[in-house]
Homo-oligomer: A and B are copies of this chain.
Amino acid sequence: MSLDPRLLDPARMDRVLAERLSRELDEIEVVFERQLASDLTAVNALCLHVARYRGKMLRPTLVLAGGVAAGGLDALVPEHRTIAATVEMIHMATLVHDDVLDDADVRRAGDTVNRLHGNETAVMLGDYLISNAFHLCSTAGRPEVNLRLGEVTNTLCEGELLQLSHRGDHALSVGTYLEIVRRKTASLIAESVRLGAELAGAPAATADALHRAGTLMGIAFQVQDDVLDLVGEETVTGKSTGRDLALHKMTLPMILHLEAASADERGRMLDLIDGTSARGHDDAAAAIRRRLVEDGAVDAARDRARGFVAEAAAIIADLPDGPGRALLERMAASIVERRA
């Protein structure tokens, strides 16, 4: 497992840090795979398939970055690997269940579990990943970490349930959208960096500052994800796009468009939304995309994401100078520049 190259540009990154992170991520991969090993071949085959989903390793890297930011490279302890593998496993579980919710066929340029083995197996495999994440977390022997991650997964599910309860709600406000995003995506990202810092012995003020920065980065990350679902290319993102439109899931570009639209424009857009099919790639969807790009709603959503990143960067800039701060700065900047 190599670190996302966008995060490890050698021109910008200290080589010692880069090599250490790469080694740590390899070890985290070992912890991850050892945890999922079963005596049942049917289970192992499924886990092998899911291993392909691991890509950016954003959350494990944030656990490490939090630790390095708090105490330098020497502050990384074995529990960092355990918790880094745990947060990645929680993330994998949400991907597998999200693909069921989104009826998605493609993930990381390959078939999804639900596409290959049916929704039933995907539901149960997601459960197996959640269960193993909590089991792995418990091996660290730190009940306060269990408690914290349990709170995060509660929040994450609440975000998904809130989003489901607003499917097809054309009056969804920016505020509720951001609350959904804060819960379903930003909560785990923020806790990853905070736990990394705490495991390295960070004082509460530093840990909480990193949690705030992580929340802002997480919100920006999800807004960019939603923009890419709308205007990204499947061959670049490596996953099904157009799912939000197909499922009548309201995301920021659409919300901003409807807020600014005249009554006539709004009516035309709602007609187009009604006309999209469950497959998501049709004339109505293409017309919606064109309209949201042309009237500046996509750019406005990207601007909001950049604003959140700037807020996060301001918090990060207040950290003591060092390789951890540099890494977090680079990670924050990469969020809105990515195309996949």
Q: Which residues of A contact B (CB under 8 A)?
A: 38, 40, 42-43, 46, 93, 97, 100-101, 117, 119-121, 123-128, 130-132, 134-139, 141-143, 146-147, 150-151, 153-154, 156-158, 160-162, 164-165
Are A124 and B160 closer than 8 Å at their CB atoms?
Answer: yes
- Residues of chain B lying within 8 A (CB to CB) of residue A123: 97, 100-101, 123, 126
**22 pairs, A vs B, C-beta closer than 8 Å:** A38-B158, A40-B158, A93-B127, A100-B120, A101-B123, A117-B164, A121-B164, A124-B161, A124-B164, A127-B130, A127-B157, A128-B154, A128-B158, A128-B161, A131-B154, A132-B150, A134-B134, A134-B150, A135-B154, A137-B146, A137-B150, A138-B150
Q: Is the interface of A mostly helix, strand, loop or mixed?
A: helix
Closest residue of B by beta carbon distance from A41: B165
> Given A42-B165, A101-B124, A120-B100, A143–B138 Cβ distance below 8 Å?
yes
> Given A130-B131, A143-B138, A147-B139, A158–B101 Cβ distance below 8 Å?
no
Are A158 and B43 closer than 8 Å at their CB atoms?
Answer: yes
> Given A130-B130, A154-B132, A161–B97 Cβ distance below 8 Å?
no
Identical chains bound together, number? 2
Are B158 and A147 closer than 8 Å at their CB atoms?
Answer: no
Within the complex, the shortest CB–CB distance from A209 to chain B, in Å, comes to 25
Q: Other than the known A124-B161, A128-B158, A131-B153, what 16 A-B pairs have Cβ atoms closer than 8 Å?
A: A43-B161, A97-B124, A101-B123, A117-B164, A121-B164, A123-B126, A125-B161, A126-B127, A127-B153, A127-B160, A131-B156, A131-B157, A135-B153, A136-B150, A138-B143, A141-B143
Closest residue of B by beta carbon distance from A141: B143
Complex: how many Å from CA A124 to CA B147? 20
Closest residue of B by beta carbon distance from A165: B42
Closest residue of B by beta carbon distance from A146: B138
- Residues of chain B lying within 8 A (CB to CB) of residue A38: 158
Are B46 and A161 closer than 8 Å at their CB atoms?
Answer: yes
Complex: how many Å from CA A290 to CA B43? 36
Within the complex, the shortest CB–CB distance from A248 to chain B, in Å, comes to 12
9 tightest A-B contacts by CB?
A135-B150, A128-B157, A131-B153, A42-B165, A138-B146, A138-B147, A101-B120, A134-B134, A124-B160
